[in-house]
């Protein structure tokens, strides 16, 4: 068998080297020691080298994710806030529409001549829309009655207003009923 031969690049030239010539004069222990020394030197150079300073673009790149999250969160909050305001306005409009529809439903009874139907309609308006709305309706109905030339105030309206003064749970409703009752009983009738 012969001696194996390897190609080796030495000083820019390829030359044939036998295994026996690869480490002339060095034992295995010496070769290992030399490799360990070279490794130690390389590790020392690496540890002594300073880490590269980050420039403005590197810092900006690191902060861009946080910035995007903050802007997204801000827009999400503003959208939700405005949407809740729009929903509240829509709900208020729906409530007003319901009030108008309720008054419209009871209007034939409120302006009619049947005193029992008028009393029931006023009680229903009060229970659905509240005492203040019912008192305001009585005020408007009596103002309309007065302007049409009717000589006397509506007795159902008088009883309703007196009942509100006696039984209203909210002081503001009692005061409003007193004010409207005084206006209905006004001597100009």
Contact 135, 166 (CB under 8 A): no
Share of the chain above pLDDT 90, in %: 19
Query: Is residue 150 helix, strand or coil?
Result: coil
Reported as a single tens digit per residue, the pLDDT across 111-149 is: 888 989 988 998 888 888 888 988 998 888 888 888 877
- Cα dist from 144 to 23, 69, 81, 150, 154, whole Å: 123, 62, 44, 9, 11
The closest of 136, 177, 131 to 158, measured between CA atoms, is 177
Q: Where are the beta strands (DSSP E) in 24-129?
A: none
Rounded to the nearest 5 percent, the helix, strand and coil shares of the chain are 75, 5, 20
Phi-psi region for residue 53, left (φ > 0), alpha (ψ -120 to 50) or beta?
Answer: beta
Contact 110, 137 (CB under 8 A): yes
Share of the chain above pLDDT 70, in %: 84
Ranked by mean pLDDT, the top range of 43-52, 83-92, 98-107 is 83-92
Reported as a single tens digit per residue, the pLDDT across 32-49 is: 889 999 999 988 888 777
* Displacement of CA 137 from its chain's centroid (Å): 38
């Amino acid at each position: 068998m012969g001696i194996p031969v390897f190609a080796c690049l030495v000083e820019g030239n390829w030359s044939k080297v036998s295994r026996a010539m690869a480490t002339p004069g060095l034992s295995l222990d010496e070769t290992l020691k030399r490799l360990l020394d070279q490794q130690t030197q390389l590790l020392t150079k690496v540890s002594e080298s300073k880490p590269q300073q980050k420039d403005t673009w590197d810092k900006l790149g690191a902060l861009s994710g946080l910035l995007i999250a903050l802007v997204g969160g801000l827009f999400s909050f503003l959208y939700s806030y405005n949407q809740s305001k729009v929903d509240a306005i829509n709900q208020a409009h729906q409530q007003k529409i319901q009030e108008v529809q309720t008054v419209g439903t009871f209007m034939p009874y409120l302006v009619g001549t049947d005193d029992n139907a008028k009393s029931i309609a006023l009680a229903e308006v009060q229970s659905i829309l509240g005492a203040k709305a019912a008192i305001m309706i009585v005020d408007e109905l009596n103002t309309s009655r007065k302007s049409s030339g009717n000589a006397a105030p509506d007795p159902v309206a008088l009883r309703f207003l007196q009942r509100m003064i006696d039984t209203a749970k909210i002081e503001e409703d009692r005061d409003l009923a007193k004010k409207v009752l005084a206006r209905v009983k006004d001597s100009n009738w």
